[in-house]
A = this chain, B = another copy of it.
Amino acid sequence: MSEHTVRESINRALAEELERDERVFLYGEDVGDYGGLYQVTDGLQDRFGEERVFDTPLSETTLGGTAVGAALTGTRPVVEIMFGDFMAIIADQITNFAAKMYFNYGDGTGVPMVVRTTYGAGDQFGLHHSQSPIGWFQNVPGIKIVAPSTPHDYKGLLKASIRDDDPVIFLENKLRYEDEGEVPDGEYTVPLCRSERKRKGEDVTVVAIGGMVDVAMEAAERLEADGVDAEVIDPRTVVPLDKEPIFDSVRKTHRLVIVHEAATFGGFGGEIAAEVAEEALFYLDAPIERVGAPFTPVPFAENLEEAYLPDEEDVIEAVQNTLGR
């Protein structure tokens, strides 16, 4: 084990997979020589050459479309889309193409592509560089959406995503690139489609997604001081969803808080809440609480963005609500 940042973890995952499998290649805007806007691919072109790691025109449709075509024909493209907001530009390629080709082929041909993209608010980048695109694809069968929360998971999940035969949207929270954490020195992967209990607790279940897992964990620490024992579940892969661990936890704690960064209305938290309202309704001792952003674009002004973004206080308040305090 050693300490690494999220950025290093992703960079190493990419390097290891480029090394391991020559069908893997990496491309996107400025990912080559420059090493990517967030320097996540730094050094990879030097190491693997311009044929494996390269820059492209400023055309997301080309990135999305060629990735599908490449994945269908024997390679394993990893594409960088600079900001998650631009996922709207390749919604056709994702929704109508990548997600549907395994269904459309009869011979088991899969679509082993990974779209890495950044997401999230908190750096005053404004309404077009801060969105969380999960909601745009949560109703699309055939796509996998992965949102890691720790350096360990970023690395292991990215490696698993690259090896996976289904198309994966891999979400990187841009506020978290500097986060540090323990990462094994040797080879490992973290399985897709498996949630993890990040914290064991008895009083309330908190399901948190991506960058909000840390927020939930810190809220849980503070709640402990207050005598509240929160269980924190990180789905890691949100589509498709590993539901049982959530149901099990709610059956134990009888309370549920869901935390994500996108707007609450129409967001993925609704799906989790609905699942529980169907499968574990009578275990609930309190209404389900969702913590998310208000139904507005991400505002620019510092104070507005702060009010917009869910934080520990919001999680704590929601937990207290479920406890009737």
Contact = CB atoms under 8 A, between A and B. Distances in A.
A151 interface: no
Nearest to A292: B139
Interface string A253-275: 00000000011011111110111
A290 B278 contact: yes
A267 B91 CA distance: 17
Contacts of A267: 139
A271 to B, nearest CB: 4
Interface in A62-101: 85-86, 88-89, 91-92, 94-96, 99-100
Contacts of A271: 265-266, 270, 274
Nearest to A94: B88
A280 to B, nearest CB: 8
A2 to B, nearest CB: 38
B288 A278 contact: yes
Nearest to A275: B270
A289 interface: yes
A223 interface: no
Contacts of A85: 96
A140 B127 CA distance: 12
A263 B141 contact: yes
**Assembly stoichiometry (copies):** 2
A295 interface: yes
Contacts of A295: 141, 240
Interface residues of A, number: 54
Contacts of A142: 297
A94 B287 CA distance: 34
A323 interface: no
Interface in A270-302: 270-271, 273-279, 281-282, 284, 286-290, 295-297
A297 B103 contact: yes
Given A274-B269, A274-B270, A297 B91 contact: no
A201 interface: no
A239 interface: yes
A273 B288 CA distance: 11
A47 interface: no
A96 to B, nearest CB: 6
Contacts of A200: none
A274 B297 contact: no
Contacts of A287: 277-279, 281-282
A135 interface: yes
Given A103-B296, A135-B138, 12 more contacts: A88-B91, A88-B95, A91-B136, A103-B127, A138-B266, A141-B263, A276-B277, A277-B281, A278-B288, A279-B287, A281-B287, A281-B288
Interface of A: 85-86, 88-89, 91-92, 94-96, 99-100, 103-104, 127-128, 134-142, 239-241, 262-263, 265-271, 273-279, 281-282, 284, 286-290, 295-297
The 7 A-B residue pairs with the shortest CB-CB distance in the complex, in nearest-first order:
A135-B139, A138-B266, A273-B274, A91-B91, A139-B266, A270-B274, A270-B270
